[in-house]
Structure 1
Amino acid sequence: MTDELHATLEGVGERFDLGEYEIEAYLAVLEHGELTASEIADRTEIPQPRVYDTVRSLSDRGLVELRESRPMKIVAVDPEDAFGNVKQSLEDLISELEARYTAPARDTEAVSLVKSRSTILRYVEEIIESAEYELVLSLTPDLLRRFRDDLAAKVDAGVSVDLLVTPQSHAPDPEEFDYLEVATVARARRGITTPVLAVADGNYSIYATQDALRDDRDRYGVIFNRSALGFLVSGFFGTVLWTTAETLAADGKRRPFPRRYASIRRAVKDVRELEGPFYASVTGRDVETGDPVVVEGEVQTTRFEDSEEVASLNLETDDGVLEIGGLVAAFEDVEAQEILLGRDGIPDRERF
């Protein structure tokens, strides 16, 4: 570290290194504009013998002026003048420190536990930003407003957004809030115990209690850092939360084909809700052997339960009809990890 930078850091630190007595005296003088030492003692808990040392310390920092009269008067300096040079020093200091900053490597652990509200919000923002084609979220109304612009940008970019707002009683009125600006489908769910969560493209995800976002330090958030374990959060969202919510707005026909999916449920719902024919290219694993596979063909039939616990596609492939299930599928032939769905023929995977 250069001597100049070291000196700047010391100077900024000294200006803000105020003790309790100095803070009390400074705020009292600021409020009244001008006080005597005796008046400061009367208005604060500073002992009379300590007042003079305290105000002289404030004077040395340029925060007050001492007018030698009988009695001596302590006059507040305009904060714009008192801190003007510090403001510039801080801006210069930040620029120089940023030039020296080396960003730490991203935590590569599959699962991380965080308790800081600001950290949870940062991860939610990052997950929204990282979504390339599919995003599911459970947000409070306050968080919906906070991330409104970010979600609108994702919708404009063609990302499929399933948005759950909770509690329902506090959700914006659809007559007054344009949900289709920020979501492909929006629902609302009763209950303040509904967690806050976000999943990008089926893997990078966060799960947090609503209490954790009220600055309750005993609560927590769990990050699945671009891990396949994200399907746990996505599955919980799709089968437990989403199915027990009321639809606010839906416009599934807006997104063009071909479409890319991390969720078998969303792919099946689109096939069932829109007119075919449909063709699919599926990247996944053979359920029996676990070997990676890519299967392609025309969608013949679908299987879907209202509870959304069961969802699958039957594809007519060169090897016959194969049943495609979601992550951790057991009864189907193939576990789908990524699905490309087209309407005019099998999608060209190289374009994605």
Structure 2
Amino acid sequence: MAGDDLLDSLEAVSERFNFGEYEAKAYLTILEHGQVTASEISDYTDIPQPRVYDTVRSLSDIGLVELQESRPMKVLALDPSEAFDDLQTSLDTLVDGLQEQYTQPARGTEAVSLVKSRPTILRYLSEVIDSANYELMLSLTPELLDRFESQLRRQHEDGVAIEILLSPAAEVPDPAEYDYDALASTVKKRRGVTTPVIAVADGRYSIYATRESLKGDTDRYGVIFDRSELGFLVSMFMNTVLWTTAETVRTDGDELTFPRRYGTIRRAISDVATLDGDFYATIEGRDVLTGEQLVVSGEVVEANISPSLEEASLVVETEEERVTVGGQVAALEDIESFEIRIGRDSPPEPAD
């Protein structure tokens, strides 16, 4: 769509949406009653009598009602599907034209962004879900679960380990009525109606948003951690505060298959500690004292986590020594892990 045509389309759509408070109240009243007089509109609403005529003529000018110039003048409702048909066509054409003009902005790999727009928050939620390669943790409302169900189903089918916390618990569908198995390895529910909306992909790319921000309240916010190392704060909060105060709805438990990849050490420890048998690990990380990047492999001989979940570590016996592995920003352990691979019979191969 050419530049001038696109501008004309934007202006035309803008004119159709130029609804003031009086226009909106009058239009809904007319739709409700089908046919009304100007005096009746004033009675049904708080629109002053002198303003009613200008208001209904404005609605007539944009093609939403029909005026019968009788005494008294009558205002007739038009079928909304017909009244808005040309607008729907204009919007479809406009969106196609805007899409042609759209250039996706480049985002830095360590960006932290504050957003307040509900559509933007939902777009980032969708993007975080799609970006997960092997691990995805979510805190959602049942409504958002329905919204992203198809995406979660695809990711689960592709082998992404998905854990979902739903709240408020009173609105969470019963597992007998909802196919959670097709979406996640573990699903929990939590009572709190103020539980934030969260998505963490592979322990790195994450979003934190308040419930209010998804209701369109511009005084609230969402925070995006675009593959930032600060994203571990979101996963830490999810693991230690929300996950531990929730009730399990369903879990695949002993059905876990290995090898598996983990972006957060607490998930790795949770699986190792609850399943029988020997486990082997390959950890990509760095020495906490020197900062040297390294990969260690060996048998997991200990898996420790404090009751508060604040401290978590794996002890891995390599060919040379035993090393203690912690999560991101580890200080007490030997190694800060970025990615953990757990296998049953031998250490999994590291990433290419």
Q: Say whether the fold is shared (TM-score over 0.5).
A: yes
* Structure 1 position 85 matched with structure 2 position 86: yes
Q: Does 1:110 align with 2:128?
A: no
CA contact (8 A) 2:232 2:328 kept: yes
- 1:258–1:17 CA distance, 2 compared to 1 (3 A): same
Residue 202 of structure 1 and its aligned partner are, at CA, apart by 0.7
Query: Could you state the TM-score of these two structures normalised by the residue count of structure 1?
Result: 0.81
CA deviation after TM superposition for structure 1 residue 96, in Å: 2.2
Partner of 1:277: 278
Change over 3 Å in CA distance of 1:60–1:180 after alignment to 2: closer
- Report the Cα distance in structure 2 between the residues aligned to 1:277 and 1:321, rounded to whole angstroms: 16
* SS of residue paired to 1:229: helix
Following the alignment from structure 1 to structure 2, what is the Cα–Cα distance between the partners of residues 169 and 69? 55
In the alignment, does 2:338 pair up with 1:337? yes
Q: Indicate yes or no: 2:325 matched with 1:324.
A: yes
- Superposed, 1:251-262 pairs within 5 Å as 251-262=252-263
Partner amino acid, structure 1, of 2:106: A
Residues 245-256 of structure 1: matches in 2 within 5 Å? 245-256=246-257
1:70 offset after TM fit, Å? 6.9
AA aligned to 2:232 is: F
- The amino acid that maps onto 2:285 is G
- The secondary structure found in structure 1 opposite 2:282 is strand
How far did residue 282 of structure 1 move?
1.0
The answer to whether the Cα contact below 8 Å between 1:112 and 1:224 also exists between their aligned partners in 2 is yes
Question: What residue identity is the alignment partner of 1:234?
Answer: S
Deviation at 1:56, TM superposition (A): 5.9
Distance verdict in 2 for CA 1:106–1:275, change over 3 Å? same
Q: Quick check: 1:187 aligned with 2:193? A: no
Higher Cα Rg: structure 1 or 2? 1
Q: In structure 2, what is the Cα distance between the partners aligned to 1:348 and 1:103?
A: 36
| Residue identity opposite 1:112 in structure 2 | S
Aligned to 2:287: 286
CA shift, 1:101, in A, is: 2.1
Give me the whole-angstrom Cα distance separating, in 2, the residues matched to 1:16 and 1:311: 55
| 1:119-268 aligned within 5 A | 119-268=120-269
Relative distance call for 1:228 and 1:47 in structure 2 (3 A) is same
Label 1:104 to 1:273 Cα distance change in 2 as closer, same or farther (>3 A). Answer: same
Bigger mean CA deviation after superposition, 14-23 or 185-194: 14-23
Deviation at 1:160, TM superposition (A): 1.5
Partners of 1:263 and 1:326 within 8 A in 2: yes
- Structure 1 residues without counterparts, runs of 5 or longer: none
- The one-letter code sitting in structure 1 at the alignment partner of 2:120 is T
Comparing 54-63 with 302-311, greater Cα deviation is found at: 54-63
1:49-82 CA distance string (max 9 Å, x none): 983x666665554455566767776655544444
Task: Indicate the larger mover: 276-285 or 214-223.
Answer: 214-223
Judging changes above 3 Å, is the alpha-carbon distance between structure 1 residues 40 and 109 closer, same or farther for their aligned structure 2 residues?
same
Mark the CA change 1:218 to 1:343 in structure 2 (over 3 Å): closer, same or farther.
Answer: same
Residue by residue over 1:301-341, the C-alpha shift from the partner in whole angstroms, topping out at 9 and shown as x without a partner, is 33344443333222232332222222222232211111112
Aligned to 2:97: 96
Give a deviation string over 1:162-200, Cα, whole Å, max 9, x none. Answer: 222334444333444443333212233343444332211
* Structure 2 CA distance for partners of 1:86 and 1:236, relative to 1, 3 Å: closer
Asked if structure 1 preserves the Cα contact closer than 8 Å seen for 2:39 and 2:49, the reply is no
Q: Is the 8 A contact 2:109 2:228 kept in 1?
A: no
Deviation at 1:277, TM superposition (A): 3.2
SS in 2 for 1:128: helix
Q: Distance in 2 between matches of 1:83 and 1:187?
A: 43
**SS in structure 2 opposite 1:323?**
strand
SS in 1 for 2:253: coil
- Partner deviation per Cα, 1:244-292 (whole Å, 9 max, x = no partner): 3333322134343221111222222322333443322211011221111
Instruction: State the secondary structure of the residue aligned to 2:203.
Output: coil
Alignment root-mean-square deviation, CA: 3.4
Could you tell me which amino acid in structure 1 is paired with residue 228 of structure 2? S
**What CA distance in whole angstroms lies between the structure 2 residues aligned with 1:59 and 1:175?**
52
Following the alignment from structure 1 to structure 2, what is the Cα–Cα distance between the partners of residues 36 and 166? Answer: 48
Aligned length in residues: 350
The corresponding residue for 1:310 is 311
Counterpart contact for 1:158–1:255, Cα < 8 Å: no
The structure-2 alpha-carbon separation of the partners of 1:344 and 1:100, relative to structure 1 and needing over 3 Å to count, comes to: same
